[in-house]
Amino acid sequence: MNLFDVYPLFDVNIVKGKGCHVWDDKGNEYLDLYGGHAVISIGHAHPHYVESISRQVGTLGFYSNSVINTLQQQLAERLGKISGYDDYSLFLINSGAEANENALKLASFHTGRTRVISFNKAFHGRTSLAVEATDNPKIIAPINANGHITYLPLNDTEAMQTELAKGDVCAVIIEGIQGVGGIKIPSDDFLHALREACTQYGTILILDEIQSGYGRTGKFFAHQHSGIRPDIITVAKGIGNGFPMAGVLISPMFKPVYGQLGTTFGGNHLACSAALAVLDVFEQEHLVENAACVGAFLLEELKKIKGIKEVRGKGLMIGLEFEDPIKELRLRLLHEQHVFTGASGTNVLRLLPPLCLSMDEAQEFINRLNKVL
């Protein structure tokens, strides 16, 4: 059997990781400014993480959601405290798309409505409603194109208010910072107006913090830079540092109904032990503060480099927009300088390193970037 060939691959076989570095099968070391697509939050192969999940799998890896799982309860308590949402409830699943799918479903159960507002260039995942809310016709199959979504320009307050005033919108779904869309930041004013309009017209506000959350921008959630509180928040990627896991944080205005949501694997014992180990390391190593501090340094230094059209971002979620396509630049960074980076579209280089990136590693990235510019 062959693999179903949907990924254009770099010709590199990564076999080992440690902190912000990975190694290929030939022993070459790479600086990881990509974090396996924003997934590696506490660093590769962190000893506490390795010890915790090894111990858990040797004790009990999985049992179903039909019995008490105290690890889920511990995770909900600790995530509530660290994120500032301890009055919200937690529903655990396995991937970002699944988190958004459940968030939209909850919003529809709650409001009885079916229309959703999303934004130009948004990415919310590849399952049914999540992909319909994703502004990329190439990945929306005919079976997913069901006319639920109205796309609006990001930060266009008037267009958003006009649409919500129609009174039939179930939910607005918005990324804390658009990742795939090219590190586009919703303005504080826009988020405040959005919060107000959603409350006024009975629309559920869903913040997709799958890429921008979990400390990445120097606050636990990107929307916390603006001070608003959404009704539902979705998280994934960094929550398990590579263990497939996701969560929906749900405001107390939603009342749970037995059987309304469910999953076989979501919140299993092994996943919870991974997520709890991640939170231990967040606290012990002050990773949210580190993302703020090292991210500010990187942003400042990158803005000094000539030849970059625009540098945008917050904390360790940074986009470098170039006049020309970056494909060649990214390949040279990888093969000549041994640096992994991400991309958004054709012209934006995306940085999503582990949140433990040190000042020295940030400086090292700048040195290596300068060599290929």
Ligand X SMILES: Cc1ncc(COP(=O)(O)O)c(C=O)c1O
Amino acid, single-letter form, for residue 191: L
CB neighbourhood size of 168 (10 A): 13
Q: Does 314 bind ligand X (CB under 6 A)?
A: no
Is the dihedral angle over the CA atoms 42, 43, 49, 53 positive or is it negative? positive
Contact 237, 35 (CB under 8 A): no
| Dihedral over Cα of 41, 42, 43, 48: its sign | negative
Choose the stretch contacting ligand X; rule: CB under 6 A; options: 2-10, 120-128, 325-333, 348-356.
120-128
Q: With binding defined as CB under 6 A, does residue 40 bind ligand X?
A: no
CB nearer to ligand X: pick between 232 and 369: 232
Please, what is the minimum distance in Å from the beta carbon of residue 275 to ligand X? Answer: 14
3-state secondary structure of 123: coil
Q: Which is nearer to ligand X, 177 or 369 (CB)?
A: 177
CA atoms of 258 and 306, how far apart (whole Å) = 58
CA–CA dist 366, 373 (Å, integer): 11
The string of DSSP codes covering 10-50 is -S--EEEEEBTEEEETT--EEEESSHHHHT-SS-BT-HHHH
Name residues contacting ligand X, limited to 162-181 (CB under 6 A). Answer: 175, 179-180
Binding characters for ligand X, 87-116, by CB under 6 A (x = yes)? --------xxx--x----------------
When asked if residue 238 is in the footprint of ligand X (CB under 6 A), the reply is no
Show contacts with ligand X in window 182-221 (CB under 6 A). Answer: 208, 210-211
Measured CA to CA in angstroms, residue 117 lies from 104, 161, 251 at distances of 11, 11, 20
Q: How far is the CB of 258 from ligand X (least distance, A)?
A: 26
Of 236, 275, 291, 355, the one binding ligand X by CB under 6 A: 236
Number of Cα atoms under 13 Å in the Cβ half of residue 34 = 17
Q: Which of 91, 123, 220, 221 binds ligand X (CB under 6 A)?
A: 123
**223 touching ligand X, by CB under 6 A:** no
Each residue 124-143 as x (binds ligand X by CB under 6 A) or -, in order, gives xx------------------
Our finding on whether 247 is near ligand X (CB under 6 A) is no
Stretch that binds ligand X, among 119-127, 150-158, 192-200, 332-340 (CB under 6 A): 119-127
Q: Between 17 and 181, whose beta carbon lies closer to ligand X?
A: 181
DSSP state of 175: E
- Six-digit token pair at 241? 């540092």
Q: Name the residue among 145, 113, 112 with its Cα closest to residue 128.
A: 145
Query: Could you list the residues that contact ligand X (CB under 6 A)?
Result: 95-97, 100, 123-125, 175, 179-180, 208, 210-211, 236
